[in-house]
Structures are given as C-alpha cells and as structure tokens.
Structure 1
C-alpha cells in the first residue's frame, strides 16, 4: 500500500476561518476524559493543546481527587469532577455518572479518552461507558494511553466506528496487535503493514502508530508523518498529540456540517477521510512544536516547553495559507 503526505492546503480546509460572525463554541467544544489522583498533568495537556490551537471550550472530566489540582493549573479549563474511584464510588453511582457525562457529550463536537486515566476499575468502567455513549451520538473520539487498554479488553468498543482515532506508542501498539491477533504467527511484519492490519481488524478506525515516523492508516489509506521533532522524549507529548487531534476532529465535524466552505485548492476532503487528515495534522504540529521547544531549551525541554510552542507551530505551518484564503461571498 503506497503512502502519501496530504498537502498543507488540503489540511487547511479543516481550520475554521475567524470571522465576526462566530459565536462561542463555533470553533469547537471538546472534552478530555481522564485524570486521577496520580495523573493530573495528562488531561491538562490534552485540553490545553486543543485550546491553544483554537478550540473555544475545553472540558476535563476527571476523578474528584484530581479536579482541584487540574483547576489550579489553568482557569481556562472547565473541570468536571464526575469520575469516581473505587474508594469514592459511594459518592455517585455509575448511572448517575453516565447521566452527567451524557449531558456534557450532547454539547460537544469531539472527545478524547484515556490520558491520565489510571488503573482504577470504577473509573475505567465509567470511561468505557462514556466512550460507548459518545459513539452512539456519532462524536469524533480520540483514544490514547489507558483507553487503549480498554480496546485491548473489548475491541468491539470501537470496532467499525470510523470516527475514532487511536494513538498508540510502540508498547501500546504491541499490546493492541497481540489482542487482535496481528503478527502472532511469528512472522515479523513491517510497522506500516502491522498498523494497516490493526486498522482493518478494527473495521476502519484510524490508527496512529507513533514512532520515529508516525504512521497513520485506516486500513485502506496510509499517511506517514516524518516532520522533524525534538530529541527529548519527555512524558506528555503524546497527550498534546491527542489534544491536537481533538481540536482538528472537532473542526472536522463542523467542516462536515459545512459550517464553512473553503475550497480554494480543489475538491473538499471526503468525510470518511477527515479523521486521517486530522490525525496527520496533529502529528505534524506536535512534532514541529517539539522541534521548536528543543531548539530553545535543549536537554531542559519539558512538556510544558512543547505546549508553549504548539500555537507557534500552527502559525508556522498555516498562517500564510489562512491569510491567503478568500471566503465565499454570502
């Protein structure tokens, strides 16, 4: 299967033009499901990356013991302390959590799950049910980190749902492949072929196999992102990729609704390929932000350094293109 790199001009069609006619939320309402007592930074990076790229509203749905900490990171995030650990499960039943999360999902364009989720079975059960609810609503979904373990346990959670994007790193991809029976016959598969087979086994979801080069495939098409990144591998960069994908998927949902119509460079993106284009854009921007952060900070680069560069990376790639776009006359 041959690979291609989508043109920046094509990706730019997903980005909402900023006009005086916009209302709050028009450029994306998103949520990150995750965050427990031990892991508070991960959902913060997801939601903050989405905001810095231009999403209007970003929620974090987390365990109540993580909520105060995450609120202290940023006043820009709406923190919903709906999840309950086994120790706190008597505070609220799973059905009550479903009701609260369901009301939130009804207002969103896209949702991410897994970052900072942790191993608590009660939290995982709530997020599993939230993923199923998001799927029933047709929401775009990004699954990373601990949410990928839920897919390994129950591939049917996302199987056949082409509006889902999975973003495994190498160890996560190995576990996912084993759960799906890919490469278990002893034959060593090329990474791109293994990714393609995983996507096919899951019925056409978009798989982003992160690595030296990011491989993005839905089983039929293949993109490879080899944008230069920084040399530091600090934790949290994958969360920013998830947040970037979240923003572009939310824009993709608005794009599919024809909330705007920018076609100065040819035919529009096929609806079925919006997740792949959103995932590629996220990989490209995260890698470029990592490169910029390393150029400035070197070995002292942290994930907060990368986050501070994500909007600059966006401007470097898209600013001139967006300035050149002409909106159709009303």
Structure 2
C-alpha cells in the first residue's frame, strides 16, 4: 500500500475544515442514486473534509437520506452548478448522471470551467457518454482531468475518437495498453482504464499498471468508489506536483486502495459482497497505514 501512504496528507491541529479537500460530485438522477452516493461517501471516507453532491431534484431526497454527512444540492442547471464549483478543490463528473440531452449544456459548461481553472476532474460513467458525443464536435485537451472508463466505455471512446470499433474483441493486454496510450495522446487527457489490470496512461505516452490482487466479485458500484477515491488522490498528488507524474501516482494509489479493500471485503463476506462492504474496509486500511506511518516517523 505504499502508493496510498505516499499521498495521504499529514493530519495536524493546524488544519482547518476544508484543508484536506472540498469535493463536488455531479451526478444522480431519478433512476440512479447509488452511484453518486458511493463516489461521494468514498471520497469522504478517504479523507475529504466536505463533499457536495449536485444532482437532479428527484434524486436529492434519496441521497440526503443515505447519509447526513453529504451536502446535497438539488438541480443541475449550469447557472446553479458552476458558481458552486468555484469553491471546490476537485470534481467528479458523471456517476448516475443519466443521458438526458438536456444535460448537454451542463456538461459543456463544466468542461469549460475545468479548462479555465485546471481544477482536478475525474470523469466517469455518463460523463464519458456525453464526452463521446462531444468528441465528434471537437473537445479541447483537459490536462487536469482523468477519464475512468471500464472496458465498454473505453470501447466507445476509441470508436468516437480513433474510429476503432472492435476494442471489445481485443484480448491481448499489451494491445489494450497501446490503444489506451494512443487514446490518451489523441485526447490530451489522462486515462484510468479499469479492468483485470488497471491501465493508467498520460498524454506523453507513459503507461502505468495497477495489478494488485483484487477480488472476483463484480458488484455494481465499485467503479464509483474508484471515481471518488481517485478524485481525492488526484487532488493530493496535484498539490505535490502539477506534472503528469501526479496522475500516475493518483491512479496507482486509487487502484491499490480499491483492490485491497475489495480483497478484504471478499475475504470477509464472500460472494454476497456488495459495494458497501468494500467501502466499510476503507477506515481500517487507513488506520493501519497511519499506524505504520507513525512508527516510521514518530515526530509526524
């Protein structure tokens, strides 16, 4: 868990609320309320001080009911969302957002905001669906962003950006890595391709692999945990370095943490494991890492 430990900020009495991160999760619709919750609560469990969820009005009461720890804002109008983002340190765009065409202006406004401010952005799920639509019209590079597709979403992105339509048929790991590198360079944006081996790529062509042991259970919501934790690691890594290496470090830490927690949850629960079981492992893992850090650095 060394990649995780390197990015965890040191806690002290000199910190104030917000010092370790204020995160925005943009997502949540009448059909999908679990995805934004999983992303938000994972960021909070990892160490965010405040997490705001900006969602469809119909989703707000449900998400509020999941946890009083989250700040939930009903409404996805750009004129309502964008001013709130000015107070955020990182953004997760897409979990449970839905694909209603009326959300396209919001998507465009968020990308414009990120391009202007360089705020760290993690784009997942329905955010990637809107990105595929936007690619055909031309999307500017987003150097502060990481896209987090699963293999199906990766296939859509490759078809939209590179005109390659047979990605799902590719079985060779090295070919997937090469394709991820090509896509990252083409878009000018980093990728975190989730799979049996997580592929982390930067526009400069560097490929890093997250291949720690995970678990065989593939319950829905694990990708949302990755989105929330990646946003936190990306924020902390960017504060240490603004280079592409920060995204490699964030991606490796996210892959390592989520895989380790999934492994622990599966060992405890077995095939009945659900995403909440994975999230429940985060506090214990962090407590153990903090204990080791204190032993290594008694003065910290």
TM-score computed with the length of structure 1 as normaliser: 0.82
State the partner residue of 1:235: 220
Shift in alpha-carbon separation, 1:253–1:322, aligned structure 2, 3 A: farther
Write the deviation string for residues 263-313 of structure 1: whole angstroms up to 9, x where unpaired: xxxxxxx63321221122111111111111110110110111111112333
Contact 1:47 1:59 in 2 (8 A): yes
**Number of matched pairs:** 294
Give the CA deviation at 1:184.
5.1
Shift in alpha-carbon separation, 1:242–1:319, aligned structure 2, 3 A: farther
Give the CA deviation at 1:131.
2.9
State the partner residue of 1:307: 279
Give the CA deviation at 1:321.
3.2
SS in 1 for 2:58: helix
C-alpha distance in 2, partners of 1:317/1:124?
Answer: 41
State the partner residue of 2:240: 255
Write the deviation string for residues 230-261 of structure 1: whole angstroms up to 9, x where unpaired: 211000000000000011122234334xxxxx
SS in 2 for 1:208: strand
Shift in alpha-carbon separation, 1:49–1:172, aligned structure 2, 3 A: same
> Where does the alignment leave 5 or more consecutive residues of structure 2 unmatched?
none
Contact 2:240 2:246 in 1 (8 A): no
State the partner residue of 1:162: 143
1:137 has 2:121 as partner: no
Contact 1:29 1:250 in 2 (8 A): no
Contact 1:33 1:127 in 2 (8 A): no
Equivalent in 176, 192, 197 of residue 213 of structure 1: 197
1:72 has 2:74 as partner: no
Give the CA deviation at 1:158.
5.7
RMSD (Å), alpha carbons: 2.3
> Where does the alignment leave 5 or more consecutive residues of structure 1 unmatched?
1-6, 84-96, 257-269
Q: Superposition pairs for residues 2-151 of structure 1, below 5 Å?
A: 8=2, 12-83=5-76, 97-151=77-131
